[in-house]
């Protein structure tokens, strides 16, 4: 996955492109580059490494020109290097392209172009795109882009400039995100909204196979057969500041602190005392709900962990069988799906390749799909039958935090919505669950007010080589997420186990000084968890437990305890995950890791 930007206006393009790229570095950061048209010539500056390397290079070789494109890369085809960095030019240097996605048939296209005399300089799949456009160019860049695109298989969001038509930028997308920003006599393209927010809040959300032709006179949207496309302007309501760090040292910390608000926003107008759960974008009728005999929840990473909570909660409140699956497994294992299957897809970005493929597979086989996503206009939101947006706002840190808690909230909302339609809970019970749910933002704030204890814990354990997480029921689901958070940003080896599995193998790993983080919030399982804690402390482990206020048995068994405000057991994950996020954060800081951009990872995995 990569980030692309483009600019057409009256100002110098290069600083605007760099500023836009700085907001997209979360999409990839192994190399970056810009291309700007200077009169009848395209100049490219690009290099391996973070954006600051590019800025240094540009300070020595400034680029002049008012039309340009930029790119921040996360390598797929071809290692991170100066040559493989985008933009890529065509052989004669008249066409320059930035690309996010994968050209699946690039080897065939490359061979074909080579047979026509084209020479390639990079190892990337992308380089075939400018070469193809040059091949098809007969005086009309739009026509040439359309013809080139018709030869490409795979996913792409691309920006194209041509020195023979110096005032123009052409962009198109398929299966990779792309927006067009509409300023005053200046226009932008970008992979994501934060890149343009300092300049405009009015944007077009491009659909697959729509082309944007941008000049200083405006933006024309075309279909593949060159018919003009009319589209509503989407007005972004969140502020440019929302996409910045807002006074915190890292995006991750800012996003952890945004959780109370994100939880509240996600419930707004959906969960109200005395009123039925209302979901505008879920059109399922009572009859259709009655017809469902099985639910699949499919997702990747943190979103998958939210799905595990979903299984426990929906089965408990709605009494329907729920299977949770990792999207990359689901899509290839010939799952049993029919018209009576409901699939709930969870994806913060709405662009995760495996999740999107799983959605398509389910739809192909007749399932109804609800998408839980954070990104309006994302691929998942466009392809699903019903949508439930998580109103977390932009999540920039690679480690997902506020998206996770809002995914949990979305799951509770769906469970209540179904329970209401299927009468699996009395209206009094639903009211009491809603009441407790509405108190979660305040309780989450309370957990955030207790950071010092967690910081002290991080000081004590950050040098450990392995840290284990244990839990039963919903605490096991949270343990999985706590463990993922820790490993992805601190690089400490970590595993999460279901407490009952301990004796079936994992206990062999426990020795003097092993750190175990144990969840003990679920009332019917606390005694069992206390036994698990004793089993590991007896063998020398140091145990940090999290539980609700007043659970003295846990305090007696564990070495350290983090108390959470009391809530219903089903809501424990919302509060319990916060200390685990903070612990991972503080450990990562102590170890000097790059919290927001952990090595080898990208924010959204838009390729397999």
Nearer to ligand M6R, 263 or 398 (CB): 398
Q: Are 27 and 398 in contact (CB under 8 A)?
A: no
Report in angstroms how near the CB of residue 572 gets to ligand M6R at its nearest. 20
Cα gap 358→356, rounded to integer Å: 5
Stretch in the footprint of ligand M6R (CB under 6 A) among 54-62, 121-129, 345-353, 540-548: 345-353
- Nearest approach, Cβ of 74 to ligand M6R (angstroms)? 13
3-state secondary structure 360-390: HHHHHCCCEEEEEECCCCCHHHHHCCEEEEC
According to the binding rule CB under 6 A, does residue 302 interact with ligand M6R?
yes
| 349 touches ligand M6R by CB under 6 A | yes
Contact residue for ligand M6R among 355, 390, 514, 532 (CB under 6 A): 355
> Are the C-beta atoms of residues 179 and 203 closer than 8 Å to each other?
yes
Burial class of residue 87, CB neighbours in 10 A (0-12, 13-18, 19+): buried
Check binding of 604 to ligand M6R (CB under 6 A).
yes
| CA neighbor of 472 nearest in space, from 416, 533, 388, 408 | 533
**If binding is defined by CB under 6 A, does position 411 make contact with ligand M6R?**
no
Q: Out of 434, 443, 542, 603, which one is annotated catalytic?
A: 603
Q: Name the active-site residue from 2, 162, 300, 593.
A: 2
User: Which residues does 378 contact at the CB level (< 8 Å), separation at least 6?
Assistant: 177, 347, 349, 350, 351
Distances (CA, A) of 150 to 93, 118, 132, 139, 155: 22, 19, 10, 18, 12
Rounded-to-integer distance, Cα 444 and Cα 263, Å: 9
Instruction: Establish if 303 lies at the interface with ligand M6R (CB under 6 A).
Output: yes
Q: CA-CA distance, 217 to 503, in Å (whole number)?
A: 70
Helix (H, G, I), strand (E, B) or coil at 88: strand
Does residue 348 interact with ligand M6R by CB under 6 A? yes
> Is the CB of 146 or the CB of 303 nearer to ligand M6R?
303
The closest alpha carbon to 175, from 209, 205, 144, 214, belongs to 209
- Of 400, 514, 567, 581, which one interacts with ligand M6R (CB under 6 A)? 400
Structure-derived torsion over alpha carbons of residues 407, 412, 415, 418, reported in degrees to the nearest 10: -100
Choose the binding region for ligand M6R from 113-121, 265-273, 341-349, 553-561 (rule: CB under 6 A).
341-349
Smallest gap from Cβ 601 to ligand M6R, in A, equals 6
* Residue 605 makes contact with ligand M6R by CB under 6 A: yes
* Of the residues 176, 347, 406, 567, which one makes contact with ligand M6R according to CB under 6 A: 347
Q: Among this protein's residues, is 2 annotated catalytic? A: yes
CB of 380 to ligand M6R, least distance (A): 8
Q: What are the Cα distances from residue 140, in Å, to 23, 120, 133, 147, 364? A: 32, 24, 10, 11, 38
* Total residues binding ligand M6R (CB under 6 A): 16
* Closer to ligand M6R by Cβ: residue 295 or 398: 398
Stretches 85-93, 259-267, 344-352, 507-515: which one binds ligand M6R (CB under 6 A)?
Answer: 344-352
Record the tokens describing residue 481, joined without a space.
Answer: 């997420």
Residue with tokens 């482990």: 541
Handedness of CA 201, 204, 205, 206 (dihedral sign): negative
Q: Is 81 in the site for ligand M6R (CB under 6 A)?
A: no
Q: Report the SS3 class of residue 522.
A: coil
Nearer to ligand M6R by C-beta: 34 or 587? 587
Is 300 a residue of the active site?
Answer: no
Among positions 130, 301, 307, 499, the unique one binding ligand M6R when judged by CB under 6 A: 301
Among 37, 300, 324, 437, binds ligand M6R (CB under 6 A): 300
577 binds ligand M6R (CB under 6 A): no
Quick one: how many helices (H) and strands (E) in the chain? Answer: 20, 24
Residue 526: CB minimum distance to ligand M6R, A: 28
155 lines the binding site for ligand M6R (CB under 6 A) = no
Task: Tell me how long the chain is.
Answer: 608
- Give the number of other Cβ atoms within 10 Å of residue 500's Cβ: 14
Which range, of 117-125, 168-176, 256-264, 296-304, touches ligand M6R by CB under 6 A?
A: 296-304
Q: Segment contacting ligand M6R (CB under 6 A): 62-70, 165-173, 393-401, 576-584?
A: 393-401
Nearer to ligand M6R, 352 or 547 (CB): 352
Sheet arrangement for strand 294-299? 322-326, 294-299, 341-347, 368-373, 386-389
Binding pattern for the stretch 486-525 against ligand M6R, x by CB under 6 A and - elsewhere: --x-------------------------------------
Residue nearest ligand M6R, CB atom distance: 301
Helix, strand, or coil (residue 398): coil
3-state secondary structure at position 460: helix
Q: How far apart are CA 5 and CA 298, in angstroms?
A: 31
Cβ nearer to ligand M6R, comparing 368 with 597: 597
d(CA 180, CA 556) in angstroms, rounded, equals: 58
Residue 478 interacts with ligand M6R (CB under 6 A)?
no
Query: If binding is defined by CB under 6 A, does position 483 make contact with ligand M6R?
Result: no
CB of residue 286 to ligand M6R, shortest distance in Å: 30
Contact between 31 and ligand M6R per CB under 6 A: no
Instruction: Rank residues 35 and 593 by Cβ distance to ligand M6R and give the closer one.
Output: 593
Active centre residues (catalytic):
2, 603
What residues line the site for ligand M6R (CB under 6 A)?
300-303, 347-349, 352, 355, 398-400, 484, 488, 604-605
């Amino acid at each position: 996955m990569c980030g692309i930007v483009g600019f057409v206006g009256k100002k110098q393009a290069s600083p605007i492109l760099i500023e836009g790229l700085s907001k997209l570095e979360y999409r990839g950061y192994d190399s970056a580059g810009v291309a700007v048209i200077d009169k009848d010539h395209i100049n490219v500056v690009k290099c391996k490494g973070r954006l600051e390397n590019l800025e240094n290079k540009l300070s020595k070789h400034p680029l002049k020109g008012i039309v340009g494109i930029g790119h921040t890369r996360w390598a797929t085809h071809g290692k991170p290097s100066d040559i493989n960095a985008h933009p890529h030019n065509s052989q004669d240097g008249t066409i320059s392209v930035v690309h996010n996605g994968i050209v699946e048939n690039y080897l065939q296209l490359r061979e074909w172009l080579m047979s026509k005399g084209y020479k390639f300089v990079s190892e990337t799949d992308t380089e075939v795109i400018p070469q193809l456009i040059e091949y098809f160019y007969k005086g009309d860049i739009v026509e040439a882009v359309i013809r080139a695109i018709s030869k490409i298989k795979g996913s792409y969001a691309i920006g194209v400039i041509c020195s023979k038509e110096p005032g123009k930028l052409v962009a198109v997308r398929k299966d990779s995100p792309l927006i067009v920003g509409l300023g005053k006599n200046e226009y932008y393209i970008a992979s994501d909204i934060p890149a343009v927010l300092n300049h405009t809040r009015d944007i077009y959300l491009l659909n697959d196979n729509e082309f944007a032709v941008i000049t200083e006179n405006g933006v024309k949207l075309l279909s593949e057969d060159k018919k003009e496309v009319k589209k509503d302007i989407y007005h972004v309501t969140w502020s440019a500041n929302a996409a910045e760090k807002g006074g915190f040292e890292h995006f991750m910390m800012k996003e952890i602190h945004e959780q109370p608000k994100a939880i509240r926003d996600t419930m707004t107008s959906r969960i109200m005392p005395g009123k039925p759960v209302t979901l505008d974008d879920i059109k399922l009728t009572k009859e259709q709900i009655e017809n469902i005999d099985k639910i699949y929840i499919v997702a990747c990473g943190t979103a998958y962990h939210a799905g595990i909570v979903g299984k426990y909660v929906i089965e408990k409140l709605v009494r329907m069988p729920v299977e949770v699956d990792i999207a990359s497994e689901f899509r290839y294992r010939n799952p049993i799906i029919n018209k009576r299957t409901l699939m709930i897809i969870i994806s913060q970005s709405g662009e995760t390749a495996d999740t999107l493929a799983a959605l398509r597979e389910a739809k192909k086989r007749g399932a109804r799909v609800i998408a839980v996503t954070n990104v309006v206009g994302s691929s998942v939101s466009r392809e699903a039958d019903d949508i439930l947006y998580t109103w977390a706002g932009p999540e920039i840190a690679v480690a997902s935090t506020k998206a996770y808690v809002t995914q949990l909230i979305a799951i509770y909302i769906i469970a209540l919505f179904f329970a209401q339609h299927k009468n699996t809970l009395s209206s009094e019970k639903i009211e009491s669950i809603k009441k407790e749910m509405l108190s979660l933002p305040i309780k989450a704030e309370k957990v955030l007010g207790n950071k010092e204890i967690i910081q002290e814990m991080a000081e004590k354990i950050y040098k450990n080589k392995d840290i284990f997480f244990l839990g039963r029921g919903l605490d096991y689901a949270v343990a999985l997420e706590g463990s993922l958070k820790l490993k992805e940003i601190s690089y400490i080896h970590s595993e999460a186990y279901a407490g009952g599995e301990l004796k079936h193998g994992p206990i062999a790993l426990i020795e003097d000084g092993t750190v175990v983080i144990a969840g003990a919030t679920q009332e019917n399982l606390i005694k069992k968890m206390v036994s698990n804690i004793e089993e590991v402390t007896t063998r020398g482990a140091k145990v940090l437990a999290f539980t609700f206020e007043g659970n003295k048995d846990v305090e007696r068994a564990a070495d350290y305890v983090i108390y959470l405000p009391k809530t219903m057991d089903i809501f424990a994950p919302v509060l319990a995950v916060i200390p685990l996020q903070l612990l991972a954060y503080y450990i990562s800081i102590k170890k000097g890791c790059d919290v927001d951009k952990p090595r080898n990872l990208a924010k959204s995995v838009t390729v397999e």
